[in-house]
Structure 1
Amino acid sequence: MTIRSFLKYVEIQTKVASVIPFTFGTLYCFYRYKSFNLINFLIMFVSLITFDMATTAINNYIDFKKANKKEGYGYEVHNAMGRGGISEKTGQRIIIILLAIAAVFGLILTLRTSLVVLLIGMLCFAIGVFYTFGPIPISRMPLGEAFSGVTMGFGITFLSIFIHAYDKNVVYLSYSSNVLGLGINILEVLSIFLISIPLVGCIANIMLANNICDVEDDIENQRFTLPYYIGRKNALRLFAFLYYIGYIAIIAAVILRLLPLSALIMLITFIPAYKNIKIFQANPSKAETFVLSVKNMVLINMFNILVLGATIITVSLTK
């Protein structure tokens, strides 16, 4: 196995879907709570990337094992095991090593912060593993979009905030008289969810676009995803709606003063994003237009990151 085949196996280019909410959450924490811990930042980054690589590897491994159709664009381009000459045993070892690294760094992060990190991490860990593994994987049900969007868009954003602001009582554990209690500042958690909605929608749409393009092949491979149940026409409508609700969320966050007024600058991304939406709706194709869902995700959320980062720098320089 070469480094190139390994990187293809874990689809390193797709890790942007994890790095973007991680970066946005970090900047938002500094903006709202004025907190940043470099060591926690680096530890979470290692755990996050290795776990993301592991879940992708699991997905490729399971698809390779269970595929009924061994030809066509989806199989030949996206299953890296056959193309990269990775044996099943090697594929398994890679998954185990990546999961072990992610777990160790996650435990270190828990020891440095709070058991809340362990609880949320275990939940994300379970969702990531059972997304493509088990008797009925999440990715083979009409729940993939919801789980991927919420877990990565909100879950990663929340954790990337919490590791720096674990002492701000956003979520906390208490122990008294043999009673373990969990406390949640509902307004703060809802605020974080609101600012993460553009991420939730964009990440869910990458999965939705993939499922729309692959609906016929998925049926052959016994994958009954959301487009199968609601139909391609409604799936394409949902695809557009998930972007629109993200823009509405940004406006609401500015009105509620959760984000700076400068965040409204990102509304200019609506023009190219809308154009990409219409192109995909007219011709949903894995080979030609699927990439537009990735481009929209990067466009919208990288713009949010740049605007928030510029605002933080500007405020710091004017003090």
Structure 2
Amino acid sequence: MSTVPNQDVKTSLNERDGFQVWWRLLRPHTLTAAFVPVFIGSMLAALEGSMHIGLFAAMLLASILIQAATNMFNEYFDYVRGLDNDQSVGIGGAIVRDGISPKKVKSLAYSFLGAATLLGVYICASSSWWIAFIGVICMIFGYLYTGGPYPIAYTPFGELTAGIFMGTVIIGISYYIQTLALHPKVLIISVPVAILIGAILLANNIRDRVGDAENGRHTLAILFGHEGSIRFLTTLYAIAYGLTLILIFLGILPIWSIITFLSLKKAIASVKGFLHKKQPIEMMPAMKATAQTNTIFGILLGLSLLLHLYLPVSL
């Protein structure tokens, strides 16, 4: 199926040709969801006096490669199923607007997974081969998110799956490869991050709700409706920030972690950005604010752990 790029959509989305076609294919705004968990897990390990820069770099790059590959599979399978067209927003658009071969996109995704596998071998050889088992599961779910006969992204479980694997699992692995141990507090601390990662997917599905419903998807946004989804997004934010505050008062997180609340402004902006909006392109700023909430929160949480390492302060 040949497509003709729609210049109006390309212009409104400020899409350019050349290198930026491949850059958009990576969906760079989502890659921070791969960086943040690795950073937090590694900083938690640093608090235990264990930090190997080589393992940190390998884990970070592998996580980013898997996330980018997942984005490419999303681009490929949505095109194959006829869900994307030259009017679609929130995608890289490499196939439907820039004429990149679907086969080339799929091959590139597999090559990214291959590179992540090689990094995984180094990580396992330097820590534990149990990581290989978990890593393979992560890759499988990355593929099944939009691939396979029953894509997870088309069900009400997309947000939960993304939150668990991109949040809790990655934080746990990042901590484990540094310390060769896994404490319950690490998993508890991962919950607010997992919730905010799930919120990114929810925001994406709010934006695409009408089109997804027409194409037979059954996401939470479709089940809740537009207004209900906004209320659910607000609830997720309340839980994430409320739990963070509780963890600080319980001493599980350092007092420095109060700086994560500087990201609350973006969370509020994301909720307001969805109110009274009907067109997907109108909701793009809200989608961006949701991703920025996770990025800023995660980076500030990691920095708070680093601050506690060098400037310990107790309540």
Q: TM-score, normalised by structure 2?
A: 0.85
Does the CA contact (< 8 Å) of 1:63 and 1:79 recur in 2? no
Amino acid at match of 2:55: N
**What's the CA shift for 1:315?**
4.6
**Letter of the 2:271 counterpart:** I
- Over 3 Å counting, the alpha-carbon distance change for 1:7 and 1:127 in structure 2 is same
Q: How does 1:226-265 map to 2 (within 5 A)?
A: 226-265=220-259
CA contact (8 A) 1:43 1:105 kept: yes
Distance 1:250 1:132 in 2: 31
Q: Displacement, 1:43?
A: 1.9
Q: Distance in 2 between matches of 1:280 and 1:115?
A: 44
Which of 158, 162, 176 is 1:148 aligned to?
Answer: 162
Alignment counterpart, residue 36 of structure 2, candidates 17, 20, 41: 20
Distance 1:314 1:103 in 2: 37
CA contact (8 A) 2:85 2:96 kept: no
Partner of 1:52: 67
**1:192 aligned to 164, 186, 210, which one?**
186
Determine the C-alpha separation between the residues in 2 that align with 1:203 and 1:209: 10
**Contact 1:51–1:102 under 8 Å retained in 2:** yes
Equivalent residues in 2 for 1:78-227, closer than 5 Å: 78-166=92-180, 168=181, 170=182, 188-189=183-184, 191-227=185-221
Match for residue 11 of structure 1 among 27, 36, 40 = 27
Deviations, residues 83-138 of structure 1 (Å, cap 9, x unaligned): 33311221122122111111121122112211331222122111111001001100
Structure 2 letter corresponding to 1:291: K
Preserved CA contact (<8 Å) 1:214 1:286:
no
Rate the CA distance shift 1:79–1:277 in 2: closer, same or farther, 3 A: same
Structure 2: how far apart are the matches of 1:105 and 1:207? Answer: 27
Q: In structure 2, what is the Cα distance between the partners aligned to 1:2 and 1:95?
A: 19
1:72/1:48 CA distance change after superposition, 3 Å: same
Aligned position for 1:61: 76
* Shift in CA distance, 37/67, structure 1 to aligned 2, threshold 3 Å: same
Contact residue 73 and residue 147 of structure 2 kept, 8 A:
yes
| Deviates further, 2-11 or 269-278 | 269-278
Distance in 1 (alpha carbons) for counterparts of 2:179 and 2:96: 44
**Aligned counterpart in structure 2 of residue 35 of structure 1, from 27, 50, 59:** 50
Cross-structure match for 1:183: none
SS of residue matched to 1:82:
coil
Deviation at 1:2, TM superposition (A): 5.1
Determine the C-alpha separation between the residues in 1 that align with 2:148 and 2:164: 21
Rounded to whole Å, the distance in 1 between the matches of 2:197 and 2:289 is: 12
Contact 1:198 1:301 survives alignment (8 Å): no
Letter in 2 for 1:80: A
- 5+ residue gaps in structure 1? 171-187
Could you tell me which amino acid in structure 1 is paired with residue 95 of structure 2? M
Query: Would the aligned equivalents of 1:110 and 1:117 in 2 still touch at CA under 8 Å?
Result: yes
Cα separation, 1, equivalents of 2:300 and 2:84: 39
Q: 1: distance between equivalents of 2:265 and 2:105?
A: 42
Letter in 1 for 2:249: I
Q: Which amino acid aligns with 2:200?
A: I
Give the drift of 1:200.
0.9
4+ residue runs over 4 A deviation: none
SS of the residue corresponding to residue 83 of structure 1 reads coil
Which structure 2 segments of 5+ residues have no match? 1-16
Identity of aligned residues (%): 25
Deviation per CA, 1:276-306: give whole Å up to 9, x if none: 4234344374334222211222232222223
Equivalent-residue separation in structure 1 for 2:288 and 2:116 (angstroms): 28
Q: Following the alignment from structure 2 to structure 1, what is the Cα–Cα distance between the partners of residues 56 and 197?
A: 22
Aligned pairs, how many? 294
Alpha-carbon distance, 1:165 to partner? 0.7
1:292 aligns with 2:289: yes
CA contact (8 A) 2:21 2:92 kept: no
